[in-house]
Copies of this chain bind each other. A is one copy, B any other.
C-alpha cells in the first residue's frame, strides 16, 4: 500500500504552508492501535496514539535541535509520506517463545526545513497490535553530514493523571526501588541518589503507566545504539512527558554526535487493556535488528552459582589483602598479607564447582579472582584492574582443569569500576586471556563514576561502549552479562551473546540495604524487563539471619517465591545466588532450580498486575514440560489456575512448591510445602500465596 494523499501539496511552491499541511493528517493503524501524525499551525510535527476509543497519547511534539542551530526544532514542511504493511515471523536464538511474529503497519513521514534546500528528516512509525514505535531518520543528504544533537523534543502527552511506576532519572544508575504514584505526584526529591541526583521531575524508562479506565501503557525505547538513553521530564500539571537525553562530558549540553545517514533509537509505546499483553509484547524485540551472529551454536543459556553472595552479606571479601592504597602497576601481589577472608581461593571455588556439578548447574561465577580489589571503588581511579592477573591464591589453570573434569564452566568476571578507558585498552588482552584459559562467559560491572570523566553510564559514549563490548565478545565467541550498564532496549536480539544485564535494583540490595519490598518483583517485568533479560540473582534460601540482627536485613520474600522468580523473571542466565551450605537443608526445594530451564518454546502470562501479582507459565525448549511461577506483593492471595495450556490428552505430574502453612516474608519466610499430583489440560489448581510469597510448579509428562 502506498499512501500519496499529500502529493498534491508538493506541487505547491516549496514555501512554508503550515495551514495546508496541518489540514492533512497522516495515519496508520493495526487492530485497536491508531496513529495520527500532523503538522501543527506552527509547522511543528506531532503524533497521537489511540487504543480503540481510548486516547493513549494526545498530540505530542516531535523534533530536535542541533548544536549548530540548524536542527529540526523550527517549522518543517511535509515532503511526502508512504506506508507499508509487514507481517513476518522469526526465531530468536533463545527466548520466551520459539517464534516471534513481527506484524506492523509502517508510516514514513518525510519532512524538511522550509527552504528549498532545507535539511531533510524522516520520522518512521511502526504501528503494531500492541503499540507504536517510531524513530527519527536522517537520510544521506548534502546539507546534513556531521551534526550534534543538542536536544530531542519528543513528547508523550498523557490524556490523564495515570498511575505510574517510576524511578528517578539518575544518569548513572537504575538501581532504585520503584515509586507508585499518580503522574501529578512524581517527585524524586525525597529519594536518596544512588549516583547522580536527578531533578524532581526527571524519571527513567521503561515507564509503566495505568489509566483509571484500565489502559496499560509502557514507554521505553528500542535499539539504543550510538545515542544517549532517553529519560523523561514529567509535567505534573499537564501529564506531559518529554524526552531528556543524557548529555556528554563537554559541558555544552551536547547529546549525540552523529553522521548521516543515521537514525535515533526507536521510541516505544506498548499499550493494552490487559496487563499480561504488555508483558507478552515483542514490540521492542521486533524493532531491533536481527542477529549479527551467523553461527550462534556456541551461545548457551545457562544457570550458575558463584562466589558472590557471601561478599554481598560481608562473610568474605573480594580483596585478598586489607592493604589499602594499592597501585596496580608496581605492586607485588604475592608479598601482600592475605586477609583470610578472600573467597575467590582455589579450594573454595572447588566447593562451588562440586555443588554445581552435583546439581546440573553449568556455570560458576567467581568474583574477586583478579588483583586490584584492595581499593577498587570510590576513588575515580583509572588503573584499577588489569583483568589478567589472578590473586596468589587463585590457580587459574588448576581450576579450569578441575571445572572441565566436572563439566562446569567458570564464568569470568570483569569489574571495570567504571574506568572504561582502562577496560577498553585492555579488552583485547582480557578476552585473549579468557580464550587461552577456556572461559566462555563474562560478567562485566560498571560500579562508580565513568572514566572518560564527565561521561555518564547512560550517555552516547557509554551506549556505544556496551554495544562494542557485545560485538567484541561475540567476535571472541564469548557470552556477556553486564551489570550497572544502561537499561536494555532489546539489543539481545541483535547480539544474542549478550545474555543479560543487571541494570536495575537486583536481589543483592536485600543483602546490604533496606532491600526490595515484596512488590518489587511484580513491577520489574513491567518496567526494566520490557527491554530484556535481567540477572536478578534469585534463589536466596537463607532469607533472614545473614547479617547482624541490628541491621534488620532480610530478603523480602518467602522461599517459595524465590523459586517462582525463575519463571516470572525471564532470563537465559539465571543465578542460584545463595551459598551451597544454605541450599543443603533445602535440597528438595532446590530441585526446582535444578529442573527449571533457561530457554523456552512458549510463554503464557496467566495473571498480572504491576505492583500486585504475576503468574507466568513457560514450556521448556524442545520438550513438553511446563514450569509455572506465581508471585504476590505484600498481600497474601489465592491464584486460581486453569491448566489449559497443557497438551490436551497428556497426563503430567505437577510438583507444587508452595508457601507452607503460616508462611510470610517477614515472620516465617522459609516455610514451604512440596506436593505432587497428576493433572491434565482440563485440571484446575489454586495456589495459596503467602504475604510476600509465591509458588512454583513443574509439569512433567507422565510416561
Contact = CB atoms under 8 A, between A and B. Distances in A.
Contacts of A324: 145
A365 B425 CA distance: 26
Contact of A325 (B145, B257, B468): B145
Contacts of A249: 249-251, 452-454
24 contacts: A145-B375, A146-B375, A249-B249, A249-B452, A249-B453, A249-B454, A250-B454, A251-B251, A251-B454, A257-B381, A257-B382, A257-B453, A259-B325, A260-B325, A421-B421, A421-B424, A421-B452, A421-B461, A424-B425, A425-B427, A425-B428, A428-B428, A428-B429, A453-B461
A359 interface: no
B381 A146 contact: yes
Contact of A455 (B254, B381, B452): B452
Secondary structure of the A contact surface, majority rule: loop
A140 interface: yes
A325 B140 contact: yes
A84 interface: no
Interface in A250-285: 250-251, 254, 257, 259-260
Interface centre among A248, A259, A375, A455, by most chain B C-beta atoms within 10 angstroms, is: A259
A146 B428 contact: no
A380 interface: yes
A427 B421 CA distance: 13
Contacts of A54: none
Closest 5 CB pairs of A and B: A452-B452, A251-B251, A249-B454, A424-B425, A146-B379
Interface string A354-385: 00000000000000000000010001111000
A101 interface: no
A437 interface: no
A375 B145 CA distance: 11
A315 interface: no
Interface residues of A, number: 33
A381 B325 contact: no
A67 to B, nearest CB: 10
A425 B475 CA distance: 15
Interface in A293-332: 324-325, 327
A453 B250 contact: yes
A327 B381 contact: no
Given A249-B454, A421-B424, A452-B454, 14 more contacts: A145-B325, A145-B375, A148-B380, A248-B454, A249-B452, A249-B453, A251-B251, A251-B454, A257-B381, A257-B453, A382-B464, A424-B424, A425-B428, A425-B468
A259 B379 contact: yes
A259 B145 CA distance: 43
Interface string A231-256: 00000000000000000111100100
Residue from the set A380, A428, A453 with the largest chain B CB neighbour count within 10 Å: A453
A100 to B, nearest CB: 26
A259 B453 contact: no
Nearest to A455: B452
B327 A259 contact: yes
A154 B392 CA distance: 44
A349 B147 CA distance: 36
Contacts of A380: 146, 148, 257
Contacts of A468: 425
Contacts of A327: 259
A324 B260 CA distance: 12
A460 B575 CA distance: 41
Interface in A95-147: 140, 145-146
A254 B381 CA distance: 14
A271 to B, nearest CB: 35
Nearest to A423: B425
A173 to B, nearest CB: 18
Interface in A411-458: 421, 424-425, 427-429, 452-455
A455 B453 CA distance: 9
A624 to B, nearest CB: 44
A453 B249 CA distance: 6
Contacts of A461: 421, 452-453
Contacts of A140: 325
* A140, A424, A468 interface centre (most CB from chain B within 10 Å): A424
A169 B248 CA distance: 25
A452 B140 CA distance: 27
A424 B424 CA distance: 7
Contacts of A381: 146, 257, 259
Contacts of A250: 249, 453-454
Nearest to A142: B325
A145 B381 CA distance: 11
Interface string A142-159: 000110100000000000
